[in-house]
Structure 1
Amino acid sequence: MKIAIFGQFYHKNAEEAVEILLDHLYEKDTNVYLEEQFFKIINLQLTDHKNYSSFKTFNVLDKSFDLLISIGGDGTMLRSATLVKDLDIPIVGINTGRLGFLATIQNEAIITAIDDILCGNYKISERSLLSIKTDPEQEDFQELDFALNEIAVSRKNTTSMITVETKLNGEYLTSYWSDGLIIATPTGSTGYSLSCGGPVITPDTNSLVLTPISPHNLNARPLIITDSTEIEIKVNGREDNYLISLDSRIATIGKDTIVTIKKAPFKIKMIELLQESFIDTLRKKLLWGEDRRN
């Protein structure tokens, strides 16, 4: 099996996970490639290199890879999706961050999880993405014009609210007077959208959610729509420029830029171990069903 490993940071929480993973993969005699910058970070931090120097590195993935392992938090998983793009390479995450909705494997479960994956004891959860097009064209998103979690527009150099004129399949919906608007996938429904009052949507649902950020028109509420809907938004306000974000990637757009958002033509494959499920993750991460009053 040809395995790619990606991480963005190397801190105290990640040290144990990195050593457990790399030691175990070396023992399994797998074909391991580490992302080049992450490999450099590891070499700087680890005094005992053991046999890690025998691992190869990569800058760009191709279809010859069978698996991408992400080491970090959910942000690192989102970044991993930009490496995989439309290559159909399954992704699994080892959580060295905080919440871990996407990266769910904890240090104590790494060896068992890797063994299960190498033996094929897992299932695939296919996750929808969003694609974006702007008029005038935004150069920042020409190569990475998709998002796994959400696309959001928000105010930039102002404390004043903005107006987000929104159309669905060409029909005018409303103008949100707010700090911004989030368009989230089911995967992203447990992220930024959730913190702004949006609903949790199961990953296998063919839906998107529009969640206003601190709306001034208080009757504005999150709206769930089918993921075949084409969404068109245009931002107005006192300033000339506003922020637009695709997951963790941020750019500036000009006033009156028309932004068209729709479901991307490909999906990201995420590995779920057989003993895990989205419902189980909800209970663990959001503490559903637990009474903490006492």
Structure 2
Amino acid sequence: MNISFLGNPAKKEISQYLPGWVDWLLSQGKSVRLRSDLAGMLSSNARSAIDIVDEFSELADQCDLLVSLGGDGTILFAARVVGRANVPILGVKFGGLGFLADVTPEDFQQAFREVSQGHCERQNRMLLRATMVDSAGRMGASVDALNDVVVISRNRNQVAGISIWVDDDFVATYFGDGLIVATPTGSTAYSLAVGGPFVVPGLNTILLSPICPHSLSARPIVVSCSSRITIRPGRGNTQELGVNADGQDFSTLEPQHKLVIEKAPHTITLLQRKQHTFFDVLRAKLNWSDDIRHIKDDERK
């Protein structure tokens, strides 16, 4: 079994665990691959026993499992690294909130045993594919996103106009800061912060959540994942519109151009321990459904 690790070497906590994990995996007869930045945390003997690469893309080559060390942002990056290689990702939480990375460092070895024995839940998460199209209808650059694609005004001091179509049906022109197009995975991220709904990850839907719309009636919309979302600068829009995918700058939506967003043809596989359900995570991470009327005075201190 070939295991690759990906993480932020600036997180000092990783160096407390990674050397022991690598030694343990090698003792189990597993092959380990690291980038040179993480390999520097290991002893010279361990470094000589593993495969050290320089490029992130090499971590997915002939890999059976990619272990993401960090928070949800690291998992989003890991999803870009594995791309269409169909390498499952196991998230070990070294970050903050951690909706996707649910394995604690202390539980890594037990979680790995569960993965090896097929006892982990394999969740196939849908991706979005965003493609730029010019005024002549020519397809340009495209990008995939696990959480969301965001069209946003680069000048937050003035509202932008964004027009939206679902398939060939005109939806609306929103005036505000922008628009979030999210997957169910992304429903607990930026979309949630602007009032979007929770969506169970297994549902095949796409969320459209306006950002600070200058309207009392604008609300998030949920559409089928088979829909084609088309976004153009609204008539009379004077603001430069940026396009971000999973928090990374992708492109600029020029006047007369359009952005087409659809379900990507491939998925990302996330491995989750069976100890927690989606609703368990909502309650634990967001205190969702808590009612302070039922909290005793001594529990509030």
TM-score (norm 1): 0.90
Residue matched to 1:159: 157
Identity of aligned residues (%): 31
Task: Find the partner of 1:40 among 17, 37, 44.
Answer: 37
In 2: Cα distance, 1:215 partner to 1:21 partner:
48
- Note the C-alpha offset of 1:9: 3.6
Alignment of 1:90 with 2:88, yes or no, is yes
- Unmatched runs of 5 consecutive residues or more in structure 2: none
**Structure-to-structure mapping, 1:213-232, within 5 angstroms:** 213-232=211-230
Residue matched to 1:127: 125
Give the aligned length.
285
Q: Which amino acid aligns with 2:103?
A: I
Residue matched to 2:51: 56
- Note the C-alpha offset of 1:20: 4.2
In 2: Cα distance, 1:186 partner to 1:228 partner:
14
In 1: Cα distance, 2:290 partner to 2:106 partner:
23
CA displacement, residues 4-31 of structure 1 (integer Å, 9 cap, x when unaligned): 1111343233333423432332332211
In structure 2, do the counterparts of structure 1 residues 9 and 126 end up closer, same or farther at CA, with 3 Å as the change threshold? same
In 2: Cα distance, 1:17 partner to 1:291 partner:
38
In structure 2, do the counterparts of structure 1 residues 159 and 9 end up closer, same or farther at CA, with 3 Å as the change threshold? farther
- Unmatched runs of 5 consecutive residues or more in structure 1: none
In 1: Cα distance, 2:175 partner to 2:287 partner:
33
Q: Which amino acid aligns with 2:96?
A: R
In 2: Cα distance, 1:202 partner to 1:257 partner:
33
Q: Which amino acid aligns with 1:275?
A: Q
In structure 2, do the counterparts of structure 1 residues 154 and 175 end up closer, same or farther at CA, with 3 Å as the change threshold? same
Residue matched to 1:278: 278
- Note the C-alpha offset of 1:179: 0.1
1:9–1:72 CA contact under 8 A, matched in 2: no
- Note the C-alpha offset of 1:92: 0.8
Alignment of 1:173 with 2:178, yes or no, is no
CA displacement, residues 75-131 of structure 1 (integer Å, 9 cap, x when unaligned): 110011111111211111011000011111112211211121122221211100000
Alignment of 1:2 with 2:22, yes or no, is no
Q: Which amino acid aligns with 2:2?
A: K
- Note the C-alpha offset of 1:223: 0.7
In 2: Cα distance, 1:125 partner to 1:291 partner:
31
1:105–1:113 CA contact under 8 A, matched in 2: yes
Q: Which amino acid aligns with 2:244?
A: S
Please identify runs of 4+ aligned residues in structure 1 that moved more than 6 A: none
CA displacement, residues 225-257 of structure 1 (integer Å, 9 cap, x when unaligned): 111110000124223x32110102203412332
1:33–1:57 CA contact under 8 A, matched in 2: yes
In structure 2, do the counterparts of structure 1 residues 20 and 163 end up closer, same or farther at CA, with 3 Å as the change threshold? farther
Partner SS for 1:51: helix
2:156–2:177 CA contact under 8 A, matched in 1: no
